[in-house]
Amino acid sequence: MDCEVKVSLTVKWNGKEYEVNDLSGNDSVGTLKANIYKLTGVRPERQKLLNLKYKGKMPEDDCQLSVLNLRAGAKIMMMGSLEEAIADASSRPDGVPEVLDDFDIDDGEEVAIENRHVYLDKIDKRIRTYNIEMLSEPRPGKKLLVLDIDYTLFDHRSSAETGVELMRPYLHEFLTSSYAFYDIVIWSATSMKWIEEKMKLLGVSTHPDYKILFYMDHLAMISVHTPKYGLAEVKPLGVIWGKFPQYTPKNTIMLDDIRRNFLMNPACGLRIAPFRNAHTNRATDRELLKLAKYLREIAALDDFGALNHRKWEHWLHRLHKERKEARRRAARATDADDDDSYTADADA
Ligand SMILES: [Mg+2]
C-alpha cells in the first residue's frame, strides 16, 4: 500500500459500525486506536481489533497501516468494553438477573402473531429470495438444531486477547455431541461477514468432529408487530422449513438467549441463559454441557411437539430420577433372584 494513500475503515463494535476516514498509510496502529477511542469511548488498551493481522498476529501499536494490506473500506471487528461497562459489570450484585434487550412474551401473544397472514407472506418471500450457501449436506434422518451466536455461544461484549477466551465453555463438545443427532444451522441477527468471522475465530468452521449445515444472517429475519412491544425483528423457522421440507416443527429446536426471536415459533424455541461476563463466568458456566444432554435425550422422540422447552431442566431432572428409580428396582429384583438361587443351591 502506498504510504500517502488515505485509509478508510469501518470498525464494528457492539452491533454498530463506525467509519474511520482521516488516516493514511503513514499512520500507526496506535493512531488508529486513538481514533477509535474518539469514536467509541473504548480506551486503546481495551481494544482488540480481531481481524487486523500482521504476519498472522495482532500488529503492535507502532506498526504502520501501510504494511497491513488493508483493502479500501475494510471492516474491522472490535471487541472491547467501556470503562463504565466494566465497572458496572463487576459491581453488579450477585443473583440479580441482568436484563438488557430481552423481553418476555406471554403465550397468548405468541399465538396471535403466529397466525397473522402478513407475516406468513413475508416468510414466503424469504423462502423464495433468501439465498442459502450450503456448508455441508443435510443427512437423512437427522433433526434440526438452530443456534444463535451472541450470548448463546459467545460473549461478544467482553474484551479479551483472543476470541476463544470469550467462547462459551464446552462449545465444541456441545456441537460434537449434537451433530450425532442434528443437522446444525447458525442463525445470527448480524451480517454474514461477521458470522463467518466469528465462526472462524471460534474454530467452528474448521472443526474436524462436526459440520455446520449453513449460516443465516439478519436478512432472513422478518419484523413483526406485537401489540405490547411494537416492532420486533424475529427469526422465523418457516424460512428453513420452506426450503428444506424434511425439517418441521416436529424435529426442529432453536436455541437463543432472546425469547423474542422465537415469536413466530414459540414451541420450537428454547431460551438459553445468556453467557455474559466471560471472564467471571467461564469457570462455572455448564449450560452447553447440560443442553447437550437434553438434546441427546429428546433426539429419540418422533415429535418435539409434546415437549415444553421452558421446562427443559425439569424434564431432564425427572428423566434422571426415573432412571435411577428403575435401576434401583432392577438391582432389588436381581438381589431377590440371587436370594432365590442361593436357597435353591442350598436345597440341592
Ligand atoms: Mg443472542
Q: What sign results for the dihedral spanned by CA atoms 90, 103, 168, 166? A: negative
pLDDT per residue rounded down to tens, the chain (348 residues): 456 778 888 888 877 888 888 888 888 899 898 888 888 878 888 788 877 888 878 888 888 888 888 887 888 888 776 655 444 433 333 333 333 444 555 555 554 555 567 788 899 999 999 999 999 999 999 999 999 999 999 998 887 777 788 999 999 999 999 999 999 999 999 999 999 999 998 999 999 999 999 999 999 999 888 776 678 889 999 999 999 999 999 999 999 999 889 988 999 999 999 999 998 999 999 999 999 999 999 999 999 999 999 999 999 999 999 999 999 999 998 887 766 555 544 444
Q: Which of 15, 294, 27, 342 is nearest to 145 (CA)?
A: 294
Q: How far away, in angstroms, is 195 Cα from ligand 1 center?
A: 12
pLDDT tens, position by position, 274-292: 999 998 999 999 999 999 9
Q: What sign results for the dihedral spanned by CA atoms 188, 210, 199, 98? A: positive
The whole-model pTM stands at 0.69
Q: How far away, in angstroms, is 184 Cα from ligand 1 center?
A: 16
Q: How far away, in angstroms, is 218 Cα from ligand 1 center?
A: 12
- CB contact at 8 A, 27 and 62: no
Q: How far away, in angstroms, is 257 Cα from ligand 1 center?
A: 5
Q: How far away, in angstroms, is 272 Cα from ligand 1 center?
A: 9
18: three-class secondary structure by DSSP: strand
- CB contact at 8 A, 275 and 168: yes
Q: Are strands 48-49 and 74-79 parallel, antiparallel or unpaired?
A: antiparallel
What pLDDT does 106 receive? 56
Give the Cβ contact number of residue 165 at 10 Å. Answer: 15
> Which residue, chain included where needed, has cell 431432572?
317
pLDDT tens, position by position, 256-269: 999 889 988 999 99
Q: How far away, in angstroms, is 60 Cα from ligand 1 center?
A: 32
Q: How far away, in angstroms, is 233 Cα from ligand 1 center?
A: 12
- CB contact at 8 A, 213 and 136: yes
Q: How far away, in angstroms, is 324 Cα from ligand 1 center?
A: 35
Q: How far away, in angstroms, is 188 Cα from ligand 1 center?
A: 7
> Which residue, chain included where needed, has cell 465444541?
172
Calpha distance 166→152 (Å, rounded): 11
Q: How far away, in angstroms, is 1 Cα from ligand 1 center?
A: 38
Q: How far away, in angstroms, is 261 Cα from ligand 1 center?
A: 9
Q: How far away, in angstroms, is 346 Cα from ligand 1 center?
A: 67
Give the Cβ contact number of residue 331 at 10 Å. Answer: 10
Q: How far away, in angstroms, is 175 Cα from ligand 1 center?
A: 17
Calpha distance 30→60 (Å, rounded): 8
Q: Which of 266, 295, 1 is nearest to 112 (CA)?
A: 266
17 phi/psi in degrees, rounded to 5: -110, 140
Element of type H or E holding 147:
strand 143-147
Sheet (strand 6-13) strand order = 16-24, 6-13, 74-79, 48-49
Calpha distance 52→70 (Å, rounded): 9
Give the Cβ contact number of residue 56 at 10 Å. Answer: 5
Domains identified in the chain and CATH numbers = 6-82 (3.10.20.90), 116-312 (3.40.50.1000)
Q: How far away, in angstroms, is 260 Cα from ligand 1 center?
A: 10
